[in-house]
């Protein structure tokens, strides 16, 4: 299976991060919704994590398990395939998004269905499955409450765990009122009333669905079992009620054994929803006559993962268990939300996983490694100890290398000139004197409001201090003559 880089079809043509972030930051309602939600989740998470005395030990164990599995990924994937097949399932390998979507569409048609119910699945968001199925005349109904809100609102998810985090209750009520068939007249924005309306809307779909589509949080190689953790029970309905179940799973989700799973089931709920355990943990192994789906298909998705695996620094991103803890502590994410990242993977993890899956050739992807202050809060909370700041710096290096291959690179020319000046004390002294003399151009305020190109970007959102009347070197030479 070879996939140099993957694609995320529904996100093609997104603006670069700074342009998208500018729009998001200007939306005060969005900022208020995000601040309220992320602060509430992170405070609860801190309490849940503090309950465990060996959190750091668990974290290091999870890191070691994931690193071992990634180092022997071929072995564990083949073992998973053999055991899924032995249990009556079918395994399909998809190198990219289009191939994965085509496999799912064919399986749905083979099942004689024209619609599917879905449990929240980031892999299918990545492949743009809903849009691909729609083009094939197949409807896809999202059954996770937040995903349903996003789908009805013709919107995109903006958080890994809480895809509709950017919506408040009043906005959700309006979406339900305008988009949900049979919504009760006089629906209020009370959370119970909103959940009740969604439940009634989804129930009939669950009972009549012929095909369910899921992702998986983990895939256990030793028995060929899949695991989905969730809070609402919709996932369990999707994986048990339809006659055909199709699970689209990234190849990095495999774990060697059930013993390994134990570590992750302790880390994931506390990191994501601040719960001691998930309300629903569904596991299944192939098919069982008379119990659950009659047909089970596992689509194993590469879509750029093997290329990420080839990068010694970047591959740690494949440890991610999509808990979203890094989003909730990120000062950048809290202000711009998820849409600005132009990918189903927002926040700090999105800033490193998306450029690895898609490459850094487009302006949008090349801008993502810079969508961070490098404060390190994401690394501190990550339950699998992904050093996101180190990966960001590494990816910035890749972006610079890519730029170097261009015929004309202004930044490179400027940096070369700066290096020439800084290599010589005499040249540096002359440059400092010239800079001090240029003060007259900036008036008496001591601030520069607009720098000329190529430095214009610096003063777009801030002033720059004018050069001092005298450099440190000049001051030292003047005041320490005797010390020579």
Please report how close the Cβ of residue 323 comes to ligand SF4 at its closest, in angstroms: 4
Please report how close the Cβ of residue 404 comes to ligand SF4 at its closest, in angstroms: 29
Please report how close the Cβ of residue 74 comes to ligand SF4 at its closest, in angstroms: 23
391 binds ligand SF4 (CB under 6 A): no
Task: Decide if 466 contacts 450 (C-beta within 8 A).
Answer: no
Considering only the stretches 21-29, 177-185, 229-237, 316-324, report the one whose residues sit in contact with ligand SF4 under the rule CB under 6 A: 316-324
Binding-site member from 14, 211, 238, 325 for ligand SF4 (CB under 6 A): 325
Tokens of 151: 């789908």
- Measure the CA angle with vertex 389, ends 383 and 392; round to 5°: 120
383 binds ligand SF4 (CB under 6 A): yes
Looking at the Cβ atoms of 162 and 198, the one nearer to ligand SF4 is: 162
Binding-site member from 152, 197, 386, 466 for ligand SF4 (CB under 6 A): 386
Considering only the stretches 237-245, 317-325, 407-415, 418-426, report the one whose residues sit in contact with ligand SF4 under the rule CB under 6 A: 317-325
- Size, binding site for ligand SF4 by CB under 6 A: 14
349 binds ligand SF4 (CB under 6 A): yes
Please report how close the Cβ of residue 372 comes to ligand SF4 at its closest, in angstroms: 12
371 binds ligand SF4 (CB under 6 A): no
Binding-site member from 34, 384, 392, 395 for ligand SF4 (CB under 6 A): 384
**Cis ω before 454 (30° cut-off from 0):** yes
Q: Which of residues 38-67 bind ligand SF4 (CB under 6 A)?
A: none
Please report how close the Cβ of residue 272 comes to ligand SF4 at its closest, in angstroms: 7
Task: Decide if 226 contacts 235 (C-beta within 8 A).
Answer: no
Q: Is 462 exposed, middle or buried (0-12, 13-18, 19+ CB in 10 A)?
A: exposed
Considering only the stretches 196-204, 287-295, 321-329, 450-458, report the one whose residues sit in contact with ligand SF4 under the rule CB under 6 A: 321-329
322 binds ligand SF4 (CB under 6 A): yes
Looking at the Cβ atoms of 8 and 104, the one nearer to ligand SF4 is: 8
Query: Helix, strand or coil for residue 252?
Result: helix
Nearest of 284, 304, 306 to residue 295 by alpha carbon = 284
Looking at the Cβ atoms of 95 and 272, the one nearer to ligand SF4 is: 272
Binding-site member from 148, 198, 239, 326 for ligand SF4 (CB under 6 A): 326
Considering only the stretches 244-252, 291-299, 324-332, 428-436, report the one whose residues sit in contact with ligand SF4 under the rule CB under 6 A: 324-332
Looking at the Cβ atoms of 165 and 323, the one nearer to ligand SF4 is: 323
Looking at the Cβ atoms of 99 and 365, the one nearer to ligand SF4 is: 365
Looking at the Cβ atoms of 66 and 201, the one nearer to ligand SF4 is: 66
Please report how close the Cβ of residue 135 comes to ligand SF4 at its closest, in angstroms: 31
Considering only the stretches 33-41, 116-124, 300-308, 380-388, report the one whose residues sit in contact with ligand SF4 under the rule CB under 6 A: 380-388
CA count, 13 A, side-chain hemisphere, 59: 17
- Measure the CA angle with vertex 57, ends 38 and 40; round to 5°: 10
382 binds ligand SF4 (CB under 6 A): yes
In sign, the C-alpha dihedral spanning 373, 62, 4, 122 is negative
Q: What is the x/- site pattern for ligand SF4, positions 261-280, by CB under 6 A?
A: ----------x---------
Nearest of 287, 337, 302 to residue 87 by alpha carbon = 287
323 binds ligand SF4 (CB under 6 A): yes
Residue labelled with tokens 């004018």? 466
Looking at the Cβ atoms of 247 and 272, the one nearer to ligand SF4 is: 272
392 binds ligand SF4 (CB under 6 A): no
Residue labelled with tokens 């729009």? 23
Question: Which residue ranges make up the site for ligand SF4 (CB under 6 A)?
Answer: 271, 320-326, 349, 381-384, 386
């Amino acid at each position: 299976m070879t996939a140099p880089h993957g694609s995320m079809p529904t996100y093609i043509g997104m603006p670069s991060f700074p342009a998208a972030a500018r729009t998001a930051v200007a939306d005060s309602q969005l900022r208020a919704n995000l601040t309220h939600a992320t602060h509430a989740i992170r405070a609860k998470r801190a309490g849940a994590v503090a309950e465990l005395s060996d959190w750091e030990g668990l974290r290091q164990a999870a890191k070691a398990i994931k690193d071992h599995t990634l180092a022997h990924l071929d072995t564990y994937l083949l073992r998973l395939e053999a055991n899924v097949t032995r249990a009556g399932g079918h395994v399909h390998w998809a190198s990219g998004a289009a191939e994965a979507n085509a496999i799912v569409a064919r399986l749905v048609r083979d099942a004689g269905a024209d619609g599917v119910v879905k449990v929240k699945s980031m892999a299918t968001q990545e492949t743009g499955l809903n849009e691909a199925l729609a083009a094939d005349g197949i409807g896809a109904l999202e059954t996770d409450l937040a995903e349903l809100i996003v789908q009805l609102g013709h919107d995109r998810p903006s958080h890994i765990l809480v895809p509709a985090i950017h919506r408040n209750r009043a906005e959700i009520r309006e979406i339900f009122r305008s988009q949900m068939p049979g919504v009760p007249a006089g629906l209020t924005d009370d959370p119970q009333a909103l959940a009740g309306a969604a439940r009634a809307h989804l129930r009939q779909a669950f009972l009549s669905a012929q095909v369910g589509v899921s992702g998986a949080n983990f895939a256990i190689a030793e028995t060929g079992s899949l695991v989905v953790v969730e809070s609402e029970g919709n996932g369990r309905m999707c994986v048990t009620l339809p006659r055909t179940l199709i699970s689209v799973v990234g190849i990095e989700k495999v774990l060697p054994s059930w013993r390994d799973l134990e570590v992750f089931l302790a880390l994931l709920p506390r990191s994501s929803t601040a719960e001691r355990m998930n309300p629903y943990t569904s596991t299944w192994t192939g098919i069982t006559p008379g119990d659950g789906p009659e047909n089970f298909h596992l689509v194993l998705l590469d879509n750029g993962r093997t290329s990420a695996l080839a990068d010694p620094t970047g591959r740690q991103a494949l440890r991610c268990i999509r808990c979203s803890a890094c989003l909730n502590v990120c000062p950048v994410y809290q202000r711009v939300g998820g849409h600005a990242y132009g990918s189903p993977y927002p926040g700090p993890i999105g800033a490193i996983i998306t450029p690895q899956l898609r490459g850094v050739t487009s302006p949008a992807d090349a801008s993502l490694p810079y969508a961070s202050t490098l404060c390190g809060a994401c690394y501190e909370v990550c339950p699998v100890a992904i050093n996101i700041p180190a990966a960001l710096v590494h990816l910035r290096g890749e972006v610079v290398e890519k730029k170097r291959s261009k015929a004309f690179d202004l930044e490179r020319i400027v940096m070369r000139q700066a290096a020439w000046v800084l290599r010589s004390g005499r040249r540096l002294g002359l440059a400092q004197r010239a800079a001090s003399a240029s003060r007259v151009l900036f008036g008496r305020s001591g601030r520069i409001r607009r720098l000329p190109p190529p430095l214009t970007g610096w003063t777009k959102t801030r002033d720059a201090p004018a050069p001092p009347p005298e450099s440190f070197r000049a001051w030292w030479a003047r005041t320490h003559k005797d010390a020579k």
